[in-house]
Structure 1
Amino acid sequence: MGSLIGELEERQAAARSRVAELDREIAALTVRLEAERNRLERLTVTRETLDELAAEGVSVGAVAPASAEVESVGGGRVVGVQTVAVWREGMTSTDLPPVYRDIVDVIDDAPEPVQAKRIVPRIGLPAQTSKIEGTRSKLKRLVERGWLDEPTPGLFTASARRAAAARPPG
């Protein structure tokens, strides 16, 4: 009888091992799936934006690549691209393109962290998935450039550095 129990224990241990391995594979695939979903969302929003611009008569044939430190120089205007400068001390939301300025102003006025879906109606856009995703993309860009913080995924606040710089000394 001891050999039957021993055999069951070995099979149970082997099954546990396979379950643990499958759990690790699922976790890895879940991360990959989420990354691909995010990529698909960004591409979908980009396509919708390009379609909107084309419908408005804006040429979308060639779009300059965005750089982390792109700044307008010489007053030139690039059609179809809005540059968002990296925040530096002394800059205010007026240094941003209008839609980004509106987003930062809404966040600055909010008493607590805000989700993209709560910002969209406050900046005058319809609460459609494409508008929410486009706004989320802008929020992420503002975080990357130091204008906002994202303390919890999906919740945005004014940048602590920017808020500290705006406080009067003393």
Structure 2
Amino acid sequence: MTGPDVCQSDPGSWLLDRIDAREHSLTCQIEQTQAEIDTLTARLGELSEAIEHLRISRKILISLAEEGPVPAEPVAPPPALPDHPAYQQILTVFGEADGSLRARDLALAMDLPLMQNNIQNVRAKLKRLASRGILVETEPGLFTQPRP
């Protein structure tokens, strides 16, 4: 028995098989469509978030533009270096030094005779530079340039 004979022997089961096949096909289409909807919904959420960020940025920029420029904080002038050329010579030695120096080391670097009077004069200049913030006395008698 082939084609037409099967239909004539049991037409109800043939119709039920066709309905089952159609139901299966529609179920697959529903699942595919739902997957596409989920993908598009996620993309819509991403686009909505991106446009919201742009709107917030626009509001902030407009707000900042309406406020006008922010006044600059006053910058403290650099400490004034005393007029005597020895101070410039001291700072030159510190610029070439790798670390902290004592008055005796500085006197040697400045080619001064190592006499008590010369060392005391250099120490006094170092103390004056430290009091103006140009140098820092890290421990008693040890001076260095401040770090920015």
Q: Same fold (TM over 0.5)?
A: no
How would you bin the TM-score normalised by the shorter chain? 0.3 to 0.5
Q: Flag the structure with larger Rg.
A: 2
Greater helix content: 2
- TM-score (structure 2 length as normaliser): 0.44
Q: Which has the higher contact order (CA 8 A, sep 6+)?
A: 1
- TM-score (structure 1 length as normaliser): 0.39
